[in-house]
Amino acid sequence: MRSRHLQRTSSTGIVAVPASASRSRQRGARCSSCSIGPGEWDHVCANTRSGHMVASRCTRLVQQLARRRLVVDGVEDLVELFISEHVSKTRSAREISRLLRREVIPSWGRRSIHEIGKRQVIDLVTEVSGRGTPSAANKLLKVVKAFFGWCVGRAILDASPANGLVAPARERPRDRVLDDDELARIIRAARQIHGAYGGIVELLALTGQRREEVA
């Protein structure tokens, strides 16, 4: 029967060396460049395995947080919050709110804001422009940029996916001028309207100012 011990010859005779000690020395020899002794090798391996376990747990935690973030930051919820906190305080609140609810929510409402990239913004604006309404597409892009900028300001997004996008169409300034007969008919019609609206229309017609320019 083969002995479990190894033997080596020395000046003093035959010395029995346990096989486990021989294997430990071999491990130590392989790690001599790292200055790891035989007795420390098992400890290093245990720490390495522990480090891998911690890294794996951290990866799973990051993935869980990412999935939770995708569920929480829904586009529809953020658009409604944007309308209530920001749009409602502007003069064009009704028009902007209608544009967001008519175009943005039906297209992106069920998605996470983090799934919307530059490609999705281009596709949406191009779709609106393809309906023959380039001015509406320009307005939509402007509103979408404001929405993403608001998301960046609230630390929901790190950067706006609409950055760098240009208006899809060039709008021509209108130079239509009412003649005296048309202006007179507008004033007469405004005087027949009861309430403040008729007075506002008449004031704009008489002064030639826009609604936003009247103090």
Domain ranges of the chain: 25-72, 75-153, 180-213
Kindly state the tokens that stand for 47. 């720490």
The confidence score (pLDDT) of residue 184 equals 87
Task: For the chain, give the secondary structure using H, E and C.
Answer: CCCCEEEEEECCEEEEEEHHHHHHHHHHHHCHHHCCCHHHHHHHHHHHHHHHHHHHHHHHHHHHHHHHHHHHCEHHHHHHHHHHHCHHHCCCHHHHHHHHHHHHHHHHCCCEHHHCCHHHHHHHHHHHHHCCCHHHHHHHHHHHHHHHHHHHHCCCCCCCCCCCCCCCCCCCCCCCCCCHHHHHHHHHHHHCCCCHHHHHHHHHHHHCCCHHHCC
User: What integer pLDDT is reported at residue 118 of this predicted model?
Assistant: 96
Q: Tens digit of pLDDT per residue, the chain (215 long)?
A: 444 444 444 444 444 545 554 554 454 444 444 455 555 656 656 666 666 666 667 777 666 665 555 557 999 999 999 999 999 999 889 999 999 999 999 999 999 999 999 999 999 999 999 888 888 999 999 999 999 999 999 999 999 999 999 988 776 666 677 788 888 888 888 888 877 888 888 888 888 777 666 65
Specify the pLDDT at position 191. Answer: 87
pLDDT score of 48 = 65
At 214 the pLDDT is: 64
pLDDT of res. 195:
77
| Topology (CATH) of 75-153 | DNA polymerase; domain 1 (1.10.150)
User: In this predicted structure, what is the pLDDT of residue 9?
Assistant: 45
What pLDDT does residue 52 have? 65
Q: Are 133 and 141 in contact (CB under 8 A)?
A: no
CA distance 162 to 117: 8
Query: What per-residue confidence (pLDDT) applies to 152?
Result: 96
pLDDT in the model for residue 157? 95
Residue 8 pairs in a beta bridge with 15
